């Protein structure tokens, strides 16, 4: 949010198709990779399918580096140059994942369209005003990105000082999401 005459804060939250595509590839190929943060399977889950020409072992070796690119992209909220673009730099250096994205990209987009929607608004303004009331001053200017992921279970993980990954189930529970958001805002205030 921005106010005329002074610098202010900005919080954005929502789903990210590139993040969802990476998780879809992980789950569809049943890759044994340890995400940071640890993220459970997609909700709803997807069947395991290994298309012809896709090397699961090689894709698993490449996946964590790709995941880092995906998170950097989500954090920066860049409109172009998606790490899930088969002709982009991120997949050019990862041929096994490039083959997987080419084979499964349409299914990932269909999954995203069918099942992934932002589950509602967070009480962002209310939380920031509450922190300002406790501090007795405006919060310092900050920018926070909350990336919603369609995974099973309750997830709220601070990836960097200004980037959080949260499951949609966590975000729709105000008894969990409001205190978690407050803690992050207080640390940035």
Give pLDDT tens digits for 120-155.
678 999 999 999 999 999 999 999 999 999 999 999
Checking DSSP bridges between strand 156-160 and strand 143-149, what pairing results, if any? unpaired
**Under a CB-based contact definition with an 8 Å cutoff, are residues 6 and 138 in contact?**
yes
Total-model pTM: 0.92
Type and span of the H or E element at 163: strand 163-167
Q: Crossing angle for the helix pair 17-28 and 95-115, nearest 10 degrees?
A: 110
Which residues are CB-contacts of 83 (< 8 A; sequence separation ≥ 6)?
18, 22, 66, 69, 70, 72, 73, 90, 91
């Amino acid at each position: 949010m921005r106010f005329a005459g002074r610098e202010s804060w900005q919080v954005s939250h929502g789903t990210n198709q590139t993040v969802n595509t990476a998780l879809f590839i992980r789950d569809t190929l049943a890759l044994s990779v340890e995400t940071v943060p640890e993220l459970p399977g997609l909700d709803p889950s997807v069947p395991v399918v290994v298309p012809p020409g896709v090397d699961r072992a090689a894709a698993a070796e490449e996946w964590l580096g790709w995941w880092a690119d995906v998170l950097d992209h989500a954090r920066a909220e860049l409109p172009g140059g998606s790490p899930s673009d088969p002709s982009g730099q991120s997949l050019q250096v990862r041929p096994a994942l490039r083959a997987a994205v080419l084979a499964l990209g349409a299914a990932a987009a269909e999954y995203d369209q069918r099942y992934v929607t932002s589950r509602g608004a967070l009480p962002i303004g209310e939380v920031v005003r509450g922190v300002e009331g406790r501090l007795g001053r405006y919060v310092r200017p900050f920018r926070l990105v909350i990336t919603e992921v369609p995974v099973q279970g309750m997830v709220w993980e601070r990836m960097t000082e200004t980037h959080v990954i949260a499951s949609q189930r966590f975000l729709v529970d105000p008894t969990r999401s409001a205190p978690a958001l407050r803690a992050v805002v207080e640390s940035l205030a």
